[in-house]
């Protein structure tokens, strides 16, 4: 029998899912793809056992939801993240409900949807964190059900195997998934060694390891290049950089929603003061799924520049602590009815996210011109992050007109490829400019700059000696063709300039160059690693 409170909670959960999903659909359909999203589109376009910088899952998700790119537009490419966000909301609700009560589950669902990392980066845009977040939550759900049990029955063993299945999928999404096993293993060794005497524990390891097989196969074929690449990303001289540490910590504060962050810290303080009523087994699993990954990647920021979303999964289990904390506060006040009397702080968290999303959407689509650099012209729009997802459809239209004119005049071949020295904006050029007119994009640069395109170039057919090519260099991401390609072509000719406008004012420029007579001598990207300018 569902009581009135549970009925209100169910209504609130449904409303949360409907509103958040509607917002995600609007954003997905009305914003151009980011450079990272377009890059992962190439995973779906050229599927493989694994890829240079990430495992294959994100590409498989794009393939599945776009019907193998039959529907090749922004909404279709991002559809997986929208669907997964709905599932994530239901999963974390069930985790909170099982740990404490339905109110805890609802608060966990709201905080998840208020998190910029969970709800926007991994929940609206399509990146490796998108499937990783779903499988992380599912792994956590079944670890919480199985590992703390002192009397381990068949049901617990089955739930543990389920968690191992999802851990494998998390690793197949992003290498960070191994930290789930680290947390589970630490819990077993420290708090419940009975699992070590049960064959199911080792069977679970095997199940997870099976999902690593595609990654191992690909790396065996490619000299373990993924691990070399990521090793170089984290390796650095041991020189303390407080600016990097500050940037990382501030990024964690911002990415997880400042209000969420404050609630999480408050809940942890309450827990360590023994003022939070949560079962010790559940609390330990949550903490061991959080602290290891947070410690590892935050420690990197002492010496090198990191990306705040690397620690994103560390805060997801802590959302449960925050939800327990809020539900206990609400119970003390005996709040009724639930929908009308949410704590102000949780309303504030969700309101902050929606406000930021609205402001960002308006600025990306409608801010007049640019708030970035306006001098020199080659750097017009530089530092304006809102331009990362704006203007490519205008460039596409303008470039087609230039190509048609050049072909008509006989000064460029209809088959002339487009080249770029770096995957950003090379992937944007590939998706928005070259794809609609059937042109080939090739990236000529170092391996750290062109990533998967070192393989794509070979599949598409590399530039041959004597051939001409185009290069498009945008002023917000300007790359000088003379610096990158002068010695590799007989002549480089500035061809035309496309002006990208926003709300009637110039936002940035796209400079089109004709590169004549390729000498066929550009070094193989596998043989040199230094970045181009």
Read off the pLDDT of residues 470-511 as tens digits, 9 standing for 90 and up: 999 999 999 999 999 999 999 999 999 999 999 999 999 999
Stretch among 41-50, 327-336, 342-351 having the lowest mean pLDDT = 327-336
Give dist(CA 7, CA 10) in Å, integer.
Answer: 5
- Position 137 confidence tier, pLDDT thresholds 50, 70, 90: very high
Helix-, strand-, coil-residue percentages of the chain, each rounded to 5 = 65, 10, 25
239 — pLDDT class (breaks 50, 70, 90): confident
* pLDDT for residue 331: 66
**How far, CA to CA in Å, does 504 sit from each of 255, 291, 389, 499?**
32, 49, 17, 11
Two tokens, residue 476: 């917000």
Q: Angle formed by the axes of helices 291-300 and 312-333, to 10°?
A: 130
- Position 413 pLDDT exceeds 60: yes
Average pLDDT over residues 285-307: 93
The pLDDT of residue 34 is: 95
**pLDDT score of 531 more than 70:** no
On the question of pLDDT at 211 being above 90, the answer is yes
Q: Return the percentage of the chain with pLDDT > 90, whole number.
A: 86
- Residue 335 is predicted with a pLDDT of 54
H/E stretch holding 355 reads helix 344-366
Residue 282 above 90 pLDDT? yes
Least confidently predicted of 135-149, 256-270, 324-338, 350-364: 324-338
Domains of the chain, by residue range, sit at 4-222+247-362, 377-527
| Residues 346, 195: Cα–Cα separation, whole Å | 38
Contact 321, 260 (CB under 8 A): no
- The residue assigned the tokens 């012209």 is 377
Residue 224, phi-psi category: left (phi > 0), alpha (psi -120 to 50), beta (remainder): left
Confidence of residue 3 (pLDDT cuts 50, 70, 90): confident
Could you tell me which residues come within 8 angstroms of residue 495 by beta carbon, excluding any fewer than 6 positions away? Answer: 402, 406, 470, 512, 513, 514
What angle, 0 to 180 degrees and rounded to 10, lies between the N-to-C axes of helices 102-114 and 344-366? 30
**Separation of alpha carbons 187 and 139, rounded Å:** 14
Distances, alpha carbon 304 to alpha carbons 228, 240, 273, 296, in Å: 17, 8, 34, 13
Beta strand 505-518 pairing with 489-502: antiparallel
Kindly state the average pLDDT of the residues 75-85: 98
Q: Is the pLDDT of residue 529 over 50?
A: no
Confidence of residue 533 (pLDDT cuts 50, 70, 90): very low
Residue 206 clears pLDDT 90, i.e. is over it? yes
The pair of three-digit structure tokens given for residue 149, joined into one six-digit string: 């049990």
Question: Averaged over 289-318, what is the pLDDT?
Answer: 92
How far apart CA 122 and CA 174 sit, in angstroms, is 12
Secondary structure of residue 174 in the 3-state scheme: coil
Any idea which of 211-220, 279-288, 309-318, 329-338 has the lowest mean pLDDT?
329-338
Mean per-residue pLDDT for 184-188?
97
What mean pLDDT is reported for the chain? 93
- pLDDT confidence band for 50 (50 / 70 / 90): very high
């Amino acid at each position: 029998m569902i009581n009135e409170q549970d009925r209100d909670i169910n209504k609130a959960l449904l409303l949360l899912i409907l509103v958040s999903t509607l917002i995600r659909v609007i954003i997905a359909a009305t914003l151009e793809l980011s450079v990272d999203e377009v890059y992962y589109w190439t995973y779906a376009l050229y599927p493989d056992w694994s890829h240079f910088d990430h495992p294959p899952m994100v590409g498989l998700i794009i393939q599945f939801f776009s019907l193998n790119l039959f529907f090749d537009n922004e909404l279709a490419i991002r559809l997986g993240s929208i669907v997964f966000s709905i599932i994530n909301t239901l999963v974390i609700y069930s985790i909170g409900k099982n740990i404490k009560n339905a109110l805890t589950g609802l608060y966990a669902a709201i905080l998840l949807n208020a998190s910029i990392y969970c709800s926007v980066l991994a929940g609206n845009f399509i990146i490796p964190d998108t499937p990783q977040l779903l499988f992380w939550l599912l792994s956590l759900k079944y670890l919480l059900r199985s590992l703390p049990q002192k009397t381990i029955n068949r049901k617990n063993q089955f739930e543990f195997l389920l968690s191992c299945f999802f851990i494998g999928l998390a690793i197949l999404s992003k290498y960070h998934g191994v930290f789930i096993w680290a947390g589970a293993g630490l819990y077993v060794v420290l708090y419940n060694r009975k699992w070590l005497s049960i064959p199911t524990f080792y069977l679970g390891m095997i199940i997870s390891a099976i999902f690593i097989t595609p990654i191992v196969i690909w790396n065996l074929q490619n000299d373990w290049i993924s691990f070399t690449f990521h090793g170089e990303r984290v390796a650095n001289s041991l020189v303390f950089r407080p600016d990097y540490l500050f940037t990382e910590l501030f990024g964690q504060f911002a990415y997880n929603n400042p209000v969420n962050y404050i609630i999480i810290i408050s809940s942890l303080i309450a827990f360590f003061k023994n003022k939070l009523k949560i079962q010790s087994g559940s609390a330990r699993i949550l903490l061991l799924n959080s602290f290891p990954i947070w410690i590892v990647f935050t420690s990197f920021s002492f010496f090198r520049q990191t990306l705040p979303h690397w620690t994103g999964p560390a805060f997801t289990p802590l959302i449960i602590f925050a939800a327990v904390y809020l539900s206990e506060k609400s119970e003390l006040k005996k709040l009724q009815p639930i929908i009308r009397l949410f704590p102000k702080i949780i309303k504030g968290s969700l309101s902050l996210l929606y406000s930021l999303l609205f402001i960002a959407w308006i600025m990306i689509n409608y801010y007049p011109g640019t708030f970035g650099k306006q001098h020199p012209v080659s750097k017009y729009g530089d530092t304006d992050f809102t331009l990362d997802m704006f203007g490519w459809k205008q460039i596409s239209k303008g470039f087609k007109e230039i190509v048609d004119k050049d072909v008509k005049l006989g000064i460029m071949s209809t088959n002339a490829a487009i080249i770029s020295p770096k995957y950003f904006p090379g992937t944007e050029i590939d998706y928005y400019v070259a794809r609609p007119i059937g042109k080939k994009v090739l990236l000529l640069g170092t391996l750290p700059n062109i990533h998967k395109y070192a393989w794509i170039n070979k599949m598409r057919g590399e530039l041959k000696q004597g051939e001409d090519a185009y290069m498009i260099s945008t002023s917000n991401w300007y790359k000088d063709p003379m610096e990158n390609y002068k010695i590799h072509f007989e002549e480089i000719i500035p061809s035309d300039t496309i002006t990208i406008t926003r709300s009637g004012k110039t936002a940035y420029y796209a400079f089109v160059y004709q590169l004549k007579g390729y000498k066929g001598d550009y070094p193989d990207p596998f043989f040199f690693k230094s970045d181009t300018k």
